[in-house]
Amino acid sequence: MQKENKMGVMPVGRLILTMSLPMMLSMLMQALYNVVDSIWVSRVAEEALSAVSLAFPMQNLMIGVATGTGVGINALMSRALGEKNPERANKVAANGIFLAMLSALAFFVIGLCATPAFFRFQKAVPGSAVWNYGVDYLSICCCVSFGVFGQVTMERLMQSTGKTTLSMFTQLTGAIVNMILDPLLILGVGPFPRLEAKGAAIATVIGQFCAFGMGIVLNRKFNKEIHVRVRGFRPNGEIILDIYKIGVPSILMVAIGSVMTYLLNRILMGFSETAAAVFGVYFKLQSFVFMPVFGMNNGVIPIIAYNYGARNRARMTKAVRVAMLMAVSIMAVGTALMWLFPETMLRLFDASDYMMGIGVPALRTISLSFIPAGFCIAMGSVFQALGKSYFSMIVSFTRQLVVLLPVAYLLSLSGDVTRVWWAFPIAEVFSLLTSVASYIYVYKKVIEKI
């Protein structure tokens, strides 16, 4: 007698924790990785912190392309292995690695040719400290991005065969190396030269290459289902197209966020470089709140999908309710921390009195959007699990480009930067309304008919 899969029988609350906890911990480590960079950079100068904040949209896009391509690789490989077709799985892996290196080459060209224009559009003054720090930092991150693309691809190869725990070791390797090297290279400790923003970039790419190397070792040693052959490799147009059919929606969702951040930086730089630095600090801090929720979301998606396939509506809807409760609880804690301890958080980044004056109301105001965002993320898990991910794209597009940016621009015309932060909770209310409308539609068209 075949044993029933735990996703069909285990109590839903415990199942979600079991499925989500490793991913939540992994994403928290990634959040720590990002914050440590900015904390050490802030010890150099506030201008260096502003520069790293302005560089964030391009770095985010880079990671989005890597992870989106990885989603396509993961899905196709898992499908091929499930069909007992190891030859196709190996071809998918080889073509995925080829696409990763091709993407890194594209960002190498961007790093060489487009970095000055990237900062100029965000109103950084050529030759200023922010400009110099930013161009130094982003040029290195883009030109030596082979590590991050390789790391993400190696992680997806392991995840496609069910070895999700192993992928945590690659992330831990990269994070630990980066956190050790940051103070040494940024501030010039002992025999190490003081490289400031360049040091942060070098520490980042070295960490990524170490994680890439660890991924190669773990795949060769433990991932026996995959045998990638470099000799005689030829790109396969059909496989590449299939990878991007699955991966492009994920890439586009990240791209939307990068465009929003990029244009909002431009609005904030119209007030001051410090305002842009505060926005960058907010993004680093909010990752500690959002990353666990996204990890929970990734654990809920297969539970909803499995029970949809099993035609078990009761477990599907209960998973959504539990996910909403967990997401909103985490977001409520995040909101409370932002309201109670904004000064403490900003001091981590060596904030001046002027930065405190902008940053405290920023953290308190933006955090009002957290709880409705929790509902939206939980409802988004339903869209993704049921193959309706275009609803998630509509919600993301509405929130970030249709509402947030125009509202932020209109509020900026008041000449008071503290009003600009209200664009976030306003946009999240519209996002919640869009999510609810989409969920009701999906419930009536799909879930209710089970």
> Across the chain, what does the average pLDDT equal?
88
**More confident of the two residues 8 and 159:** 159
Single residue among 222, 256, 290 that ends a domain in this structure: 256
Single residue among 256, 282, 299 that ends a domain in this structure: 256
Task: Give the model's pLDDT for residue 86.
Answer: 83
Range of the domain at 182: 43-256
Asked whether residue 434 is domain-assigned, the answer is yes
Single residue among 256, 281, 310 that ends a domain in this structure: 256
Task: Give the model's pLDDT for residue 368.
Answer: 96
pLDDT at 246 over 70: yes
pLDDT at 181 over 90: yes
Are residues 250 and 131 both part of a single domain?
A: yes
Q: Over the stretch 29-69, which tens digit does the pLDDT of each residue have?
A: 777 777 888 899 999 999 999 999 999 899 989 988 998 88
Q: What are phi and psi of 277, to 5 degrees?
A: -65, -40
Are residues 288 and 386 both part of a single domain?
A: yes
Are residues 212 and 323 both part of a single domain?
A: no
Are residues 214 and 307 both part of a single domain?
A: no
Q: What percent of the chain lies above the pLDDT cut of 70?
A: 96
Are residues 411 and 291 both part of a single domain?
A: yes
Are residues 83 and 179 both part of a single domain?
A: yes
Asked whether residue 321 is domain-assigned, the answer is yes
Q: Over the stretch 159-175, which tens digit does the pLDDT of each residue have?
A: 777 676 787 788 889 98
**More confident of the two residues 277 and 78:** 277
Asked whether residue 34 is domain-assigned, the answer is no
Asked whether residue 37 is domain-assigned, the answer is no
pLDDT at 217 over 70: yes
| Contact predicate 214/170, CB 8 Å | yes
Are residues 199 and 57 both part of a single domain?
A: yes
Asked whether residue 261 is domain-assigned, the answer is no
Are residues 213 and 309 both part of a single domain?
A: no
Asked whether residue 106 is domain-assigned, the answer is yes
Domain count, the chain: 2
Are residues 83 and 207 both part of a single domain?
A: yes
Q: Over the stretch 346-375, which tens digit does the pLDDT of each residue have?
A: 999 999 999 999 999 999 999 999 999 999
Asked whether residue 147 is domain-assigned, the answer is yes
> pTM here?
0.85
CA distance 116 to 112: 9
Task: Give the model's pLDDT for residue 37.
Answer: 85
Are residues 155 and 288 both part of a single domain?
A: no
Across 128-132, average pLDDT: 93
Q: Over the stretch 403-436, which tens digit does the pLDDT of each residue have?
A: 999 999 999 999 999 999 999 999 999 999 999 9
Lowest mean pLDDT among 5-14, 64-73, 125-134: 5-14
Asked whether residue 325 is domain-assigned, the answer is yes
pLDDT at 311 over 90: no
Across 120-143, average pLDDT: 93
Are residues 283 and 210 both part of a single domain?
A: no
Task: Give the model's pLDDT for residue 1.
Answer: 40
Are residues 366 and 332 both part of a single domain?
A: yes
pLDDT at 243 over 80: yes
